[in-house]
Amino acid sequence: MTKLATRCKYWYASHNGAKARVMAMERYNHRTSESHWQKRWNDERVFEAKETFGKPKHYVLEMFPYPSGRIHVGHVRNYTMGDVLARYMRARGHNVLHPMGWDAFGMPAENAAIEKGVHPRNWTYENIAAMRRQLKSMGLSIDWTREIATCDPSYYRHEQEIFLDFLAAGLVERKISQVNWDPIDQTVLANEQVIEGRGWRSGALVEKRELAQWFLKITDYSDELLAALDGLHRWPEKVRLMQQNWIGRSEGLRFHFELETEQGSPVPPLQVFTTRHDTIFGATFCAVSPDHALTRELARSSLEIAAFRRECEALGTSEEAIERAEKKGVFLGLYARHPFRPGFRLPVYAANFILMAYGEGAIFGCPAHDQRDLEFAHNYGLDVIPVVAPAAADPATFTIGDEAFLDKDDAQAVLINSDFLNGMTVAQAKEEVARRIEKKGIGQRKLNYRLRDWGVSRQRYWGCPIPIIHCPACGIVPVPKSDLPVVLPDDVTFDQPGNPLDRHLAWKQVKCPRCGNAAQRETDTFDTFVDSSWYFARFCAPRADRPTDPAAIDYWMPVDQYIGGVEHAILHLLYSRFFTRAMRRTGHIRLDEPFASLFTQGMVIHSTFRTPAGEWVLPADAVERNGRWVHAETGEQLIVGPAEKMSKSKKNVVDPEVIIDQYGADTVRWFVLSDTPPERDIEWTESGVAGAWRFTQRLWKLVNEVTERPAEPSLNVLSPQSTALRRTIHQALHAVSLDIEGLRFNRAIARIYELANALTAALASPVKDAVSPAVLREGATILVQMFAPMMPHLAEEAWRLLKMPGLAAQAPWPAADPALLVEDTVTIAVQVNGKRRDEVTLKKGLPAAEVESIVLELDNVRRALDGRSVRKIIVVPDRIANVVVG
């Protein structure tokens, strides 16, 4: 703030005497300008989206924010990118929908309630008000009439209705599942909230608990969600791969082993899943999960097995815990009969490395070809039978040491020690085993997915109530739609741990809608990811009586460009894709994929500062003096760390509000788009922001100077300089259009700099009137329109100065003159043996033969040839000529 004020004063002081003309020009003042134009846009409802037909639509959406209370620079970057696109598409004649809302449920509101005694509702709505004001100060072209907040009953009532429809359609399931339970706070914790086995707030050792939870059956769509990824051409490859891995399809075989006790009496069979059925003759044991039904049952009569189960429960699921964990198990006293080796019995263990959640929670172990199985076999003295060997190996002597032999897709490997499989490749053996298992009727080929159903129950107050009533007589009863919304009660207390809804008897105790007897409400609320899984659909008709309005949703959906952080690559984006399909099934929407194009922007990072004592210092308190960073107040020298993700704990944060006040929204918008490609992390630097600020002033000055040139009506008779400048102008326009469409904002900005430089140079031309004032005007006008999406306020100010009609925000995008995009001459590089030796400017489209003779005459080429003979000449028309010397 102080820095800038000082600058302004000097700026005026220096322009005296000879520069009186410049002094007459007012410096661009963002403080008065920006609020003025924001008001005009608002008053004239410039950005309200209309469903008028006859115009193509364009739906631009950025991931809506959680109302934490203040916007951060990541928001600024995200919303600026979307805004540039929205403004550009509007100028290109599209009906643009560019809405904003609030992902307003969630734990921070409850934590604030616990810590500060404020009501989550008040805390949330105050935060929304503060952030709305901040976002508006950015000058975003948002249709604020469509604003929604997920915590508003007018939003979540529809979510409840959708849920009831999902329930009726069989897309909802209630089942017992294992959760992370914090015994002090008495709540379920998400995996992310468990840090080294302890609750992130209470510090209590987290327990595994089994609770009845509501699940959305996303696994019904596993295959569809996976297959449809191929059609998402305008999604980043990276995100598609991440989702693909997350869904985790594997082709395998599910079959059962006959079981028997040690004495040989039969026991119900054991289902297993495998993708390596080719190794069936290498099987030397079977293993089941500690949580497998078989283990549970046997634990009731065996102290040893019960103890093993407890031991596994206590073991963390963290990465390190898994890394360190020995492969352990306990013999269950049972044997499995090998399907192809009569009389051969495999001991059955419960083992700590078998996941209940994957496949059947049971496997056959083949130590020779699976590292985990091998370690387990070594620990328990089990046989290791190699059954796959490199083709070159001698089957008689091939052995396995400490490393299992993993051949994967290697066609070189062949089966050994495997009866009817001997000599086959892995693929052939898999096929043969699958065929025989199916023929025996003991199993079948099966696709298995890693994806699991989505547990949406949270034992939390600040979330959307799940519209269900539990009746002792009728069981689970959906709340009738006519009773919606189930509104969160306001009068709740946070003085005790646990879910306040559970203690709110007046709310909890209801009559069963079916039988009329006393019943209880479901007190769990939805995971907040449910709220964000359909908000993009609600924006199409945010005040409709039904969750969606068919006409509006058919018109606007899908989102044409979705922009957000890559951290949502899996959860939010996968849930939304599932929700859209489930909403299609229940008649709320008529498409599968909500986001036609996805863009994941990088983070904003900043270097860190700390004192020698190790205390973190805010960038605002650090100043550079003589190339060293010191504390602004104490003068203490600071240790500068590399740029990293902004975090409150390391204090490497900048507050957008302060920067916007100091430099203006246009400058900040310009900065976050400049230099760095939008998908990469951008480093926030004070000098970069200052540079952007200087450019706003330069542009302002440039437009002023152009308008001071005497008007000249015609573009008909032009000097060569004028024509050349017009080419530059129109080529820049063409290039910037393509760059914005491709979201290559950094390149668009570089080209705007280039055009500004060209116009500045033309203005400064020593030859009087070398460039026609009409051309300068044309250039300035196009320049203003090109930067209008990025710096909309300055653009309006310049638009007014140029005496252009209406608002820049409503002006159509200028059309580049195709005639000016084609050059009639071209400068081509001339190489000798691939090394550049000269360049030559030629008429475009010159025949290769002529190019060849011209090239050979060049001094530099002759010198490089040095008397050697020319073998051939490669001529790429209008691009390059390469003389190849023998």
Which is nearest to 594 in space by CA: 583, 603, 605, 610? Answer: 583
Paired residues of 205 in beta bridges: 198
DSSP 355-385: -TTSTTSEEEE-GGG-HHHHHHHHHHT----
| CA nearest to 477, candidates 170, 175, 164, 158 | 164
Instruction: In angstroms, give the least distance from the CB of 831 to RNA.
Output: 6
> Is the CB of 360 or the CB of 524 nearer to RNA?
360
Least distance (Å) between residue 485 CB and RNA: 34
Tell which residue, 49, 42, 81, has the closest CA to residue 63: 81
- Which of 257, 266, 367, 352 lies closest to 305, judged by CA? 352
Listed residue (849, 840, 885, 886) closest to 864, CA to CA = 885
Query: Closest separation between CB of residue 141 and RNA, Å?
Result: 25
Residue 158 or 430: the one with the smaller Cβ distance to RNA is: 430
Give whichever of 248 and 814 is closer to RNA, judged by the CB atom: 248
What the block records as the tokens of 673 is: 């788009």
Q: Which of 743, 704, 733 is nearest to 820 (CA)?
A: 733
The span from the CA of 188 to the CA of 182, in Å, is 6
Q: Where are the alpha helices (DSSP H) in 107-200?
A: 107-116, 120-136, 153-168
848-859 core/surface letters (b: 16 or more CB in 10 A; e: else): eeebbebbeebe
Residue 213 CB, shortest distance to RNA, in Å, is 19
d(CA 285, CA 661): 70
CA angle 37/41/43 to nearest 5° reads 110
Provide the 3-class DSSP secondary structure of residue 70: coil
Asked if residue 422 lies in contact with residue 389, where contact means CB atoms within 8 angstroms, the answer is no
Residue number with CB closer to RNA (289 or 586): 289
Burial class (CB in 10 A: 0-12, 13-18, 19+), 628: exposed
**E strands along 202-290, which residues?**
207-216, 249-261, 266-274, 285-288
| Whole-number Å distance between alpha carbons of 464 and 456 | 11
Cβ pair 809, 38 in contact under 8 A:
no
Q: How far is C-alpha 40 from the chain's CA centre? A: 34
The burial of 391, by beta-carbon neighbours within 10 Å (0-12 exposed, 13-18 middle, 19 or more buried), is given as exposed
| Closest distance of CB 403 from RNA, Å | 10
H-type alpha helices, 137-219? 153-168
- Closer CB to RNA, residue 111 or residue 860? 860
Tokens standing for residue 881: 């000529």
Residues near 646 by Cβ (< 8 Å), separated by ≥ 6?
72, 73, 74, 603, 604, 605, 606, 652, 653, 654, 684
Q: What is the residue type of 132?
A: R
Query: In terms of CB distance, is 204 or 870 closer to RNA?
Result: 870
Q: How far is the CB of 848 from RNA (least distance, A)?
A: 12
CA distance 714 to 303: 99
CA separation for the pair 280, 433 (Å, rounded): 8
Least Å distance between CB 108 and RNA?
Answer: 21
Residue 774 beta carbon to RNA: minimum distance, rounded to whole angstroms: 22
Select 197 or 677, whichever has its Cβ closest to RNA. Answer: 677
Q: Please say which residue, 362 or 617, places its beta carbon nearer to RNA.
A: 362
Nearest distance in Å: CB 655, RNA: 21
- Least distance in Å: CB of 861 to RNA? 9
Minimum distance of RNA from residue 796's CB (angstroms)? 22
The maximal CA–CA distance of the chain, rounded, in angstroms, is 112
Q: Which is nearer to RNA, 125 or 609 (CB)?
A: 609
Shortest Å, Cβ 232 to RNA: 15
Q: Nearer Cβ to RNA, position 306 or 829? A: 829
Q: Which CB, 347 or 478, lies closer to RNA?
A: 347
Cβ distance to RNA smaller for residue 466 or 569:
569
**Residue 77 beta carbon to RNA: minimum distance, rounded to whole angstroms:** 13
Q: Distance of CA 97 to CAs 58, 110, 405, 537, 863, Å?
A: 6, 33, 57, 12, 63
| Residue spans of alpha helices (H) in 652-741 | 656-663, 665-673, 686-708, 720-741
Taking the least distance from each CB to RNA, the nearer of 110 and 291 is 291
What's the closest the beta carbon of residue 882 comes to RNA, in angstroms?
4
CB 871 to RNA: min, Å: 8
- CB closer to RNA, 111 vs 676: 676
Query: Facing residues of 255 across strands?
Result: 272, 443
Taking the complex as a whole, the smallest distance from the CB of residue 537 to RNA amounts, in Å, to 26
Strand pairing category for 468-471 and 457-458: unpaired
For the CB of residue 649, give the shortest distance to RNA in the complex, in Å. Answer: 16
Looking at the Cβ atoms of 378 and 503, the one nearer to RNA is 378
Residue 435 or 872 having the CB closest to RNA = 872
Neighbours of 156 (CB within 10 A): 28
Q: How far apart are CA 326 and CA 253, in angstroms?
A: 28
Measured distance CA(379)–CA(211) in Å, rounded? 35
Distance CA 796, CA 793 (A): 5
| Helix/strand/coil for 818 | helix
| Cα 446 to Cα 246: distance, rounded to the nearest angstrom | 18
Q: Which is nearer to RNA, 2 or 687 (CB)?
A: 687
How near is the Cβ of 319 to RNA at its closest, in Å? 5
Q: Which is nearer to RNA, 470 or 747 (CB)?
A: 747
